[in-house]
Amino acid sequence: MRQAIFYHAGCPVCVAAEQQFAEALDPARYAVEVVHLGQDARRVAEAEGFGVQSVPALVIDGQAFHINFGAPLSALK
């Protein structure tokens, strides 16, 4: 099973992206973890390590995909 992490900050853009992208992944193929960086700022460094620059972003197998621009990671530190 492949790993996918959906990082977001709870903004309307992020919530809409979560509903469209994270929930669209086949649960038989992807283990999806949703991380609200506004509530768990300790994971901001982890997201940066994957190359995430803004949220919402989806990381699949260690590669970041920026979906839309909701907030820069610097605003979540």
What is the pLDDT at residue 4?
Answer: 95
Closest by CA to 42, choosing from 13, 3, 7, 2, is 7
Rounded-to-integer distance, Cα 23 and Cα 21, Å: 6
CA atoms within 13 A on the CB side of 2: 12
What is the pLDDT at residue 47?
Answer: 97
| Confidence grade of residue 10 (pLDDT, cut at 50, 70, 90) | confident
What is the pLDDT at residue 56?
Answer: 93
The pLDDT tens digits for 18-69 are 888 877 899 999 999 999 998 998 999 999 999 999 999 999 999 999 988 8
Residues linked to residue 5 through DSSP beta bridges, in sequence order: 33, 59
